[in-house]
């Protein structure tokens, strides 16, 4: 009966967010409107990514079209779509995108109260071979009603209102947290709607998978090398862990969230500050990123949204790690 209810009583992402909103009678619905524009961006990117394999045949993004005009590459196109969708929502005031050197300050007539930080298409080197890629986003509220400044996006992560990612994989999955719990929605292409398919996601307590670019091993420091060695040759009689590494952060994080295990991008001799960076601060309310923390930091700082080398605007190096093992093990 329950399965039937899911089939006939669809919990779309819009319905879900409106339900959440109804718990806050003071809410004006601005957040729901903003989110619907982010969802639109994700649907657009999903459709473009699905067609990317046809690009060479029919001249889509990144190719020259029949008029001989160079078409925009998918990451550039995705950025344009997100920027326009966010501005046209009328609910944003500052946008920080991985694709743009500088923050975008929305013109006063279109301005709202939210600041959105995002990477429209992370892992874009995976596009040409059809491997999963994703969009990452985080949302802050302006501190008060002054003229917006960069300080409005440089708030501590626990001020973040919502964060999420959309993975363009064998299915298109949007994972969202608005502060209490994490929920996953899968795009039903026939309906064009994201349907709640992964309610209240919790990373499994234990996992059997480690996920890291082992090609960097010769440049790792001793503790990192020792930890990975232990995954392969456990000394306590347990089975070795399996290695899975996609090289697309959203996909590696998503798998780690659902199946458990550890995902990491440790700093090394080649990238002393790590390759991935966090831009959007720490955020203890967003459990899924509970385990992102600089490998050598003793404090369990939590990072909500991370991505790779960033704009001039913000950015701090991060040696990222998401895991379902004890933090002491992560440190080892």
Under the rule (CB under 6 A), what is the footprint of ligand FBP? Answer: 122-125, 213, 247-249, 252, 265, 275-276, 308
Q: How far is the CB of 278 from ligand FBP (least distance, A)?
A: 13
What is the SS3 assignment for the chain?
Answer: CHHHHHHHCCCEHHHHHHHHHHCCCCCCCHHHHHHHHHHHHHHHHHHHHHHHHHHHHHCCCCCECCCCCECCCHHHHHHHHHHHHHHHCCCEEEEEECCCCCCEECCHHHCCCEEEEEEEEECHHHHHHCCCEEEEEEEEECCCCCCCCHHHCCCCHHHCCEEEEEEECCCEEEEEECCCCCEEEEEECCCCEEEEEECCCCCCCCCCEEECCHHHHHHCCHHHHHHHHHHHCCCCCCCCCEECCCCCHHHHHHHHHHHCCEEEECCCCCCCCCCCEECCCECCCCHHHCCCCCCCCCCCCCECCEECCCCCCCCEECCEEEECCCHHHHHC
Q: How far is the CB of 216 from ligand FBP (least distance, A)?
A: 7
Q: How far is the CB of 88 from ligand FBP (least distance, A)?
A: 26
Please, which residue, 270 or 296, has the CB nearer to ligand FBP?
A: 270
Helix axes 30-51, 13-22, angle to 10 degrees: 160
Please, which residue, 122 or 152, has the CB nearer to ligand FBP?
A: 122
Please, which residue, 79 or 285, has the CB nearer to ligand FBP?
A: 79
How far are the Cα atoms of 12, 114, 276 from residue 122, in angstroms, in the given order?
A: 25, 22, 11
d(CA 76, CA 60) in angstroms, rounded, equals 13
Q: How far is the CB of 124 from ligand FBP (least distance, A)?
A: 5
Please, which residue, 116 or 133, has the CB nearer to ligand FBP?
A: 133
| Residues shown for the chain | 332
Please, which residue, 36 or 213, has the CB nearer to ligand FBP?
A: 213
Q: How far is the CB of 275 from ligand FBP (least distance, A)?
A: 5
Please, which residue, 79 or 124, has the CB nearer to ligand FBP?
A: 124
Q: How far is the CB of 15 from ligand FBP (least distance, A)?
A: 31
Q: How far is the CB of 118 from ligand FBP (least distance, A)?
A: 13
Q: How far is the CB of 317 from ligand FBP (least distance, A)?
A: 14
Please, which residue, 13 or 83, has the CB nearer to ligand FBP?
A: 83
Q: How far is the CB of 179 from ligand FBP (least distance, A)?
A: 25
Please, which residue, 193 or 252, has the CB nearer to ligand FBP?
A: 252
d(CA 135, CA 38) in angstroms, rounded, equals 10
Question: Which residues on neighbouring strands pair with residue 318, listed in sequence order?
Answer: none
Please, which residue, 122 or 193, has the CB nearer to ligand FBP?
A: 122
């Amino acid at each position: 009966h329950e399965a039937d209810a899911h089939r006939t009583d669809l919990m779309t992402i819009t319905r879900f967010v409106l339900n959440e909103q109804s718990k806050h009678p003071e809410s004006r619905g601005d957040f729901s409107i903003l989110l619907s524009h982010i969802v639109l961006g994700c649907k657009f990117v999903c459709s473009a990514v699905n067609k990317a394999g046809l690009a060479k045949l029919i001249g889509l993004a990144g190719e020259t079209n029949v008029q001989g005009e160079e078409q925009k590459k998918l990451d550039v196109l995705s950025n344009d779509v997100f920027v326009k969708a966010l501005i046209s929502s009328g609910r944003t005031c500052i946008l920080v995108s991985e694709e743009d050197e500088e923050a975008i300050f929305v013109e006063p007539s279109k301005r709202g109260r939210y600041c959105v930080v995002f990477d429209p298409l992370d892992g874009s080197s995976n596009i040409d071979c059809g491997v999963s890629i994703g969009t990452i986003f985080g949302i802050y509220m302006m501190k008060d009603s002054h003229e917006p400044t960069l300080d409005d996006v440089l708030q501590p992560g626990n001020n973040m209102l919502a964060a999420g990612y959309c993975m363009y994989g064998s299915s298109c999955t949007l994972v969202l947290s608005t502060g209490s719990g994490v929920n996953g929605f899968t795009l039903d292409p026939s309906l064009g709607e994201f349907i709640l398919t992964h309610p209240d996601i919790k990373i499994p307590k234990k996992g059997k998978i480690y996920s890291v670019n082992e090609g960097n091993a010769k440049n790792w420091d001793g503790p990192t090398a020792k930890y990975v060695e232990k995954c392969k040759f456990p000394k306590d009689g347990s089975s070795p862990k399996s290695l899975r590494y996609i090289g697309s952060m959203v996909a590696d994080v998503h798998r780690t969230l659902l199946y458990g295990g550890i995902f990491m991008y440790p700093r090394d001799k080649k990238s002393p500050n790590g390759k991935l960076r966090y831009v959007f601060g720490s955020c203890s309310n967003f459990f899924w990123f509970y385990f992102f923390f600089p490998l050598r930091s003793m404090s369990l700082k939590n990072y909500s949204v991370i991505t790779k080398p960033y704009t001039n605007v913000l950015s701090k190096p991060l040696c990222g790690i998401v895991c379902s093992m004890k933090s002491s093990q992560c440190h080892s």
